[in-house]
Chain A
Amino acid sequence: MVRLPWFLTWRRPHALAGPYALDALDAAERARYERHLRRCATCPAEVRGFAAVAASLGVAAAATPPPALKGRVLADVAALDAARSADAEIAAVLSAADARVASAATSAGGTATVVTSRRGGTMVFTSSGLPVLPPTSVYELWFIGSAGVRPAGLVPAPDPDDAAVLVLATGLSGDDAVGVTVEPAGGTDAPTTTPIVVLTPR
């Protein structure tokens, strides 16, 4: 690529303030202009003024949105917020003062790991290299202890793009270990097969 001397190029970026404020640049030019914007003494003020003009053009186009839009947007927001708090709960388990970890190879292959917080009664399960099951089967988690054997949730099928699947479960009590079995799709209330691994966090 030929580099032009500065006196042939310096005017060009300035002249792009208008097209930039109107989103009339393609992505590459926009990125280039934004780099210029960070170094330019006078551009930010001009862009701010032009953006305010663009906002006025936008306000002038106001129209009544379909009534159903609000419900859909607010429902999405609630779902995103729930995911964010689920992530926060996982983070809380992982960073709990009494967090304990157990990890072991399973008899089916791969490795299973749990982190528990006894005080919070919570557990986070993750795994790597577990064999992919046919759609008719699922990995099911169990709390196993003096309180009996209770279901602790299903492990979602691994996303090919996303290596780590984290499962959060609550209801861990006292001396519970965490077991994993292979069950019919949808899971069961009590294990029907021998656990492929039992983890006892210490």
Chain B
Amino acid sequence: MPDPLSPPGPDLGELLTLVARGDQVAFETVYDRVAPVVFGLVLRVLRDAAQAEEVAQEALLEVWRTAGRFDPARGTALAWMLTIAHRRAVDRVRSERAAAEREARAASAAPPPAADEVAETVESSLEAERVRHCLDGLTGAQRESITLAYYSGLSYPQVASALGLALGTVKTRIRDGLRRLRDCLGVSW
């Protein structure tokens, strides 16, 4: 499966090896390739451009500082970098949400995004099309559980309460949904 983010040239894993040695030119190439995904994903979770910029900046600096810890045996370089970015975004959104809930005791989490909303907000890329197509192939509960967790940054107990499902049900929906997505996307792993 060709990686849409891997144009000809050194792959991201090789670039990270150079970055780990302090190669700023290699880092700039990494930036150019992954910044749109890092920023877009963080923006998707945080829904606030100013905060997304801060968190994306922190995440990219973490990539620079910790590139030596990337282990190709545990996944692709892109997945590693997106994990850094997503975790930071989730940490931020959860602490903000906790603060907001303390203040307002806001009754409900963000409403589950419909599949159509996913299509509206993503860049029209081949990968976005494939992801949308594969998300459409899930059951509603699988799709909502996965998008609430990943795109809205909810923990799975929060997903359970937002959807009115039992904890065990949400875990199963997420796992079954991810398995189906994995097969549909044909991701290499």
Contact = CB atoms under 8 A, between A and B. Distances in A.
Contact of A22 (B53, B65, B149): B149
A18 B187 contact: no
Contact of B122 (A25, A61, A73): A61
B27 to A, nearest CB: 6
B181 interface: yes
Interface string B112-142: 0000001001110101101110000000000
Given A63-B39, A70-B35, A73-B61, A53 B182 contact: yes
Interface residues of B, number: 69
B151 A61 contact: yes
B57 interface: yes
Interface residues of A, number: 43
Given A49-B189, A62-B125, A70-B35, A21 B178 contact: yes
Contact of A77 (B24, B37, B53, B82): B24
B181 A69 contact: no
Nearest to B159: A24
A58 B149 contact: no
Contacts of A48: 74-75, 189
Contact of A55 (B76, B128, B154, B170): B76
A78 interface: yes
Contacts of A55: 75-76, 78-79, 82, 187
A77 B185 CA distance: 35
A73 B24 CA distance: 11
A73 B4 contact: no
Contacts of B159: 24
Nearest to A27: B91
Contacts of A63: 36, 39-40, 43-44, 123
The 5 residue pairs across chains A and B that have the minimum distance between CB atoms: A63-B40, A18-B174, A65-B39, A60-B131, A52-B187
Interface of A: 15-19, 21-26, 44-45, 48-66, 69-70, 72-74, 76-78, 80-81, 84
15 contacts: A17-B175, A18-B178, A19-B156, A22-B174, A23-B87, A23-B153, A24-B156, A48-B189, A49-B182, A56-B127, A60-B130, A65-B39, A69-B57, A73-B61, A74-B24
Given A24-B150, A54-B86, 15 more contacts: A19-B170, A21-B178, A50-B182, A51-B189, A52-B182, A55-B76, A58-B37, A61-B41, A61-B123, A63-B123, A65-B35, A65-B38, A70-B31, A76-B57, A80-B64
